[in-house]
Amino acid sequence: MLYIIGLGLGNEKDITLRGLEAVKNCSKVYIESYTSLLSFGLSSDGLSTLEKLYGKPVTLADRETVEEKADAILEEAQKSDVAFLVVGDPFGATTHTDLVVRAKKLGVDVKVVHNASVMNAVGVCGLQLYRYGETVSIPFFTETWRPSSFYEKIQRNRALGLHTLCLLDIRVKEPTLESLCRGRKKYEPPRYMTIGTAIEQLLEVEQMRGESAYNEETLCAGFARLGSEDQMVVAGSMKQLLTIDFGAPLHCLVIVGDTHPVEEEMLGFYTLGGGN
């Protein structure tokens, strides 16, 4: 059996009772380490925190392990129970759907244990979840690569009056271009996009496109460390949010669409100069 278990967003205690029971019954435990992270990180200290709770070793599964060596994990799951832990909810990233498809093709039974994810935790700001349009990802720009495919999706959402959740880039154990050219992998230091960087890139794309999908006065909500004890939620214009230090990762951003009075009242508690 392959168990794919959501860990929630905060710390080691956010795993569900059903998820914890499954982990304790598994012979091997992996934790995916590149689509998100828990509040205490996944350093050796962070892993030992999990191992103490679970009573067994936890193996870090980076992007290469999951995307290139998944067959080894699935072979283990053919012989014994294996847990694959995911920060947030198991289906918050397409990689995990691919793992389920591959498991089923090999005849491996799969059980999923769900948990909270960024997709529903953003509801804390008061914007109603059913009034969100398509979610977009904002990648880090480079000198030679400045993709803007997210712009049309934001434009469509705003034309319909819908809110847009922007997931911000995480780069963990990414090989450098130079090392790929030389055939020997050397990795970049981890990088986590901030709300400030995301807004700067969004405004750069708007300036380039000039189609008025949004501007520096557009109302947004910025979130940092959702689900943690020190989570931070601030609403304001893009221009205002550029002045806010949201602190440690992870960050995400919502571009606000048309709002209902109830949404406005709740969002007001987080708005700069508002009710908080």
92 labeled part of a ligand binding site: yes
The answer to whether 96 is annotated as binding is no
117 is in an annotated binding site: yes
- Has 9 been labeled as part of a binding site? yes
Which string of DSSP letters, residue by residue, matches the chain?
Answer: -EEEEE-BSSSGGGS-HHHHHHHHH-SEEEEE-SS---TT-SSHHHHHHHHHHHTS--EEE-HHHHHHSHHHHHHHHHHS-EEEEESB-TTSSHHHHHHHHHHHHTT--EEEE----HHHHGGGGS--GGGB---EEEPPP-SS----THHHHHHHHHHTT-BEEEEEPEE-SPBPHHHHHHTS--BPPPEE--HHHHHHHHHHHHHHH-S-S--TTSEEEEEESTTSTT-EEEEEEHHHHTT----SSPEEEEE--S--HHHHHHHHTTBTTS--
Q: Does 274 appear as a known binding residue? A: no
Is 7 annotated as belonging to a binding site?
A: no
Is 275 annotated in a binding site? The answer is no
88 is in an annotated binding site: no
Residue ranges for the known binding site are: 9, 89, 92, 117-118, 168, 226, 251
Residue ranges for the known binding site for S-adenosyl-L-methionine are: 9, 89, 92, 117-118, 168, 226, 251
